[in-house]
Amino acid sequence: MPQVSHVVAIDPFQERLHSLKQAFPGLALYPNLETALDHVDAVIIATPPSTHAALALTALASGKSVLVEKPLATSTQEARQMIAEAAARSLVLMVGHTFEYNAAVWKLRELVQSNELGRVYPCKVRRTTVVGSSKMAVYNDLSSDERIRIFDKGVVSPEGNSSLQNMPMTYRYGEIRAPYLRFEEPLSVQDAEFVSCVLSGSQPQTDGHNGLSIVQALECADISLRAGRMVSLEEVSRTDGSKPELAKVS
Ligand SMILES: NC(=O)c1ccc[n+]([C@@H]2O[C@H](COP(=O)([O-])OP(=O)(O)OC[C@H]3O[C@@H](n4cnc5c(N)ncnc54)[C@H](O)[C@@H]3O)[C@@H](O)[C@H]2O)c1
């Protein structure tokens, strides 16, 4: 951008700095925000969300306007603190809600608000796309025919080691195939399985253990949300009654 005369990059990880240096040889590099602050007028924060608030508050406290990648923060309390700090210092605090700078999104808003579309209903989407190195399959549960379409379209990863200069992935296109599927209403298949298992005493495909595996994943997600750390399935698989640690692991 013509108004930007100088760009510096900050990253605590040496490997990332090295990669940046190769991609942009003229770039000044710093291992942390504090050492870079004297060399910049404004800061863009594109780090993991848990670090957004602390970094933004540091930048704002030193009089720098800040653009933070979404999400602005990981709690409303942090977000309010950032807003207050920017307002107190008359600095710009901006969040990277890119969709709000997208003309198509604004057009859609206009279409809805002008009532051109009439009453709005939520469109049900049940689609799973699996992209492989050889082919891509799209499963659209709401399609009356062609629920599964196989595209001879794959993703090709770059040759050799990937660096910032390389395109991360490229696409290869080819024919599209929709295999024949004998379709039966899944709810009816499920209930028939239940009745069959009751009559024969056999174990259903989705037995209690199958249910447990989903509950474990949900429990891990819930603990992770509250503790702010990664939670392994082993932690909730304990059968001795002990509870997983809620403390954050650094
Ligand atoms: N990747 C996307 O498409 C995308 C889209 C929208 C929003 N975002 C947001 O952008 C941010 C970054 O996402 P990403 O995918 O590039 O993550 P990433 O993990 O690939 O990159 C984050 C970088 O931040 C560096 N970093 C970590 N702590 C730091 C610190 N204290 N100071 C300076 N640098 C630090 C890491 O070394 C890493 O290089 C996130 O907030 C994410 O929510 C990403």
> Could you tell me if 13 and 37 are in contact, meaning their C-beta atoms sit under 8 angstroms apart?
no
Would you state the pLDDT for residue 247?
63
Best residue for ligand 1 mutational test, from 27, 45, 47 (most atoms within 8 Å of Cβ) = 47
Specify the pairing of strand 8-10 against strand 28-30: parallel
Rounded to an integer, what distance in angstroms lies between the CA atom of residue 220 and that of residue 88?
Answer: 40
Domains of the chain: 8-100+205-236 (3.40.50.720), 108-177 (no CATH)
**Tokens 């709401």 sit at which residue?**
142
Rounded to an integer, what distance in angstroms lies between the CA atom of residue 188 and that of residue 83?
Answer: 54
Would you state the pLDDT for residue 157?
73
Would you state the pLDDT for residue 188?
96
> Could you tell me if 236 and 244 are in contact, meaning their C-beta atoms sit under 8 angstroms apart?
yes
Q: Which atom of ligand 1 is nearest to the CA of 54?
A: 31
The one-letter code for the residue type at 211 is: G
Would you state the pLDDT for residue 199?
97
pLDDT digits (tens, 9 = 90+) for 37-83: 999 999 999 999 999 999 999 999 999 999 999 999 999 999 999 99
> Could you tell me if 37 and 59 are in contact, meaning their C-beta atoms sit under 8 angstroms apart?
yes
Is residue 45 lining ligand 1, measured as CB closer than 6 Å? no
Which residues of the chain have a pLDDT value below 50?
249-250
Would you state the pLDDT for residue 250?
41
Would you state the pLDDT for residue 162?
57
Would you state the pLDDT for residue 11?
97
Is residue 46 lining ligand 1, measured as CB closer than 6 Å? yes
